[in-house]
Structure 1
């Protein structure tokens, strides 16, 4: 799936290019990438830049600077660069409300085309904001987002009230020394495969925003919810299908909601609204779910995974239920399928 970016990311990149005197000629990028960037910057409604193109530009910029490009870009970030999210954060009562709103409306940064959720994990002393980052080709972009989140926090509170993070996690080993990251985040750096996270003491949540405005925040929250709903409706059929399949994959790993209810909640709508949106693209939830399960099942059978484990992975109550479903999809039992292979 192509992940699209709001125009604030482009304005930030343009500002950093100017700061470091990086011209398009100097970056030596393909004409189509430059054209896509320029058109998207001029007309966000008609043109969109995707993450792949953005990363190509970041990689070209990295060739001309001596520190991680994601950190350099984050140093130049301003709250408007993250769109409505920036204004929601700055008008929040405290960091706790800012994080709640950021988690809820995070998909707006990617025009609802993101496939990974941001999660907040708390214990008695700390809280952690984290997300999965599984594409190594996007490593620079993941680092940029983590650094932007840190700057986002710094920009909405008094600097002398904010203690450094207790830990930063990167999902891939960077090409630069970890010392660059330790200095930027003022924290220890860990590497955990495919995970990006920033952890603070729980007391940080009570730090007040410097521009708190309850009435404005409520108005902006309504606007953000309307934008979520509008963007969800505007996804094209291919994007919408991929989004739903990605959420089905996530839904199969939890057991406290039905899969359809889980997907609907992640799409910020009711199950009925989800069905209606699917119908607009000539899609049906059960067909998508069955198709996903069938492809996963075939792959798992070929690799020798036990039937009971496959059943559990695909959300079936037992091996027999999985077997009946597989025969309905293929006309064969799982064992017959393997014999024919």
Structure 2
């Protein structure tokens, strides 16, 4: 599955907004083919998924026809848990904000799916909580804005926030409307063209409980979500998932992750993860060494000293790093550093030549 798929709840949300305005889709100037496709999608169960491309087409047409540049925000004001399917109900019945976020990461494919859909990451820093995911392609900017707006609006409904828990909103794409609309809707600092998409939350919001927490219902919903995920095609091998987690940890934490940490992020036990990797013909140690060497290459290009690289990658000293590099690549570390320096000098000379 290459194209992004979104919940049919998004289409139903659009229809609910139109109804509140006293309109029906037939009044918006859609072509007969578009109306026929719309009728088909709107007849599907809310917790199934359909084409993002068609949804984008419908929303862009609606924005122009209704002369409503803030349509995404207007739709989000009508959001209900059912528009996110089982995941929306799980969030509304979870025991805390922290638990709801864990469910979002674990079952995000039930909302937005496809090979271009990158799972969210949740990182707790001393000052705040960061919910992040990278930019894949600017053509998906609408689904990012829609999901951001609906997530934040639904959270305000579910949890009894005295003040908004959102400290900052970061978008990786350029703004789609005037900045004042974003700042008014989110009530916080909003930045664009950032390295990643991020929602920055206050730490104290993690322990807040929803007004309708229901642990027994959560158990049933979790089983339903697990069954739904199991029916979806595998987008990545276990090895690829581990590689992404290890690479991220090496880059942002600047130390070596344990298999237990990676397994927890992938919602498995360490033993299960080892078994699955073995079935794919590899192991955690092999993946870790490969990712360490790739990170080493990046740090060499940044002219980081060999002793600092060894420390960042968890080696006892520079000599241990050099031995590991030679064993993995068949080339000495000093030779590789010289090659990179020569290539950089050649590029600099080329750029400065009239």
- Taking structure 1 as reference, are residues 285 and 128 closer, same or farther at Cα in structure 2, changes over 3 Å only? closer
CA distance in 2 between partners of 1:51 and 1:315 (Å): 43
CA contact (8 A) 2:92 2:158 kept: yes
Q: Is residue 2:96 matched to residue 1:118?
A: no
Closer, same or farther: CA 68–55 of 1 in aligned 2, 3 Å: same
| Partner of residue 183, structure 2 | 182
1:31 alignment counterpart: none
Pick one of 2, 11, 14 that aligns with 1:13. Answer: 11
Q: Deviations over 1:23-76 (max 9, x none)?
A: 875999xxxxx89xx79x96999x976878876776676665532454244234
1 CA distance for matches of 2:316 and 2:29?
A: 58
| CA distance 1:285–1:76, shift in 2 (3 Å) | same
1:154 aligns with 2:156: yes
Cα distance in 1 for residues equivalent to 2:123 and 2:33? 36
CA distance in structure 2 between the partners assigned to 1:284 and 1:3 by the alignment: 31
- Name the CA distance, whole Å, in 2 between partners of 1:310 and 1:57: 50
CA contact (8 A) 2:166 2:201 kept: yes
1:322 correspondence with 2:324 = no
> What aligned pairs does 1:38-49 form with structure 2 within 5 A after superposition?
none
- Distance of 1:50 and 1:156 partners within structure 2: 28
From 93, 103, 106, the counterpart of 1:105: 103
Q: 2:73: which partner in 1?
A: 71
Structure 2, gaps ≥5 residues long: 341-354
Larger radius of gyration: 2
Q: What residue is the counterpart of 1:80 in the other structure? A: 82
CA distance in 2, matches of 1:14, 1:247: 35
**Equivalence map 1:271-282=2 (5 Å):** 271-282=270-281
Q: CA deviation at 1:282?
A: 3.8
Distance 1:198 1:318 in 2: 36
Task: Using the TM superposition, give the Cα deviation of residue 181 of structure 1 relative to its aligned residue in structure 2, in angstroms.
Answer: 1.9
8 Å CA contact 1:167–1:188 kept in 2: the answer is yes
Unaligned runs of at least 5 residues, structure 1: 29-33
Instruction: Classify 1:188/1:116 alpha carbon distance in 2 versus 1 (closer, same or farther; 3 Å).
Output: closer
What is the rounded CA distance, in whole Å, between the counterparts of 1:308 and 1:55 in structure 2? 50
Closer, same or farther in 2 for the Cα pair 1:313/1:201, shift >3 Å? closer
- Alpha-carbon RMSD across the aligned residues, in angstroms, is 4.4
- Residues 301, 334 of structure 1: 8 Å contact kept: no
* 8 Å CA contact retained: 2:96, 2:206: no
> Secondary structure at 1:293's aligned position in 2?
helix
User: Distance in 1 between the 2:254 and 2:123 partners?
Assistant: 17
Q: Write the distance in 1 (CA, Å) between the matches of 2:339 and 2:254.
A: 33
- How far residue 339 of structure 1 moved from its aligned partner, in angstroms, is 4.3
> 3-state DSSP class of the match of 2:96?
helix
1:151 Cα offset (Å): 1.8
| In 2, Cα distance between equivalents of 1:27 and 1:48 | 20
The alignment's TM-score, normalised by the length of structure 2, stands at 0.69
Aligned equivalent of 2:261:
262
For the 8 Å contact 1:133–1:142, the answer to whether it is kept is no
Count of aligned positions: 317
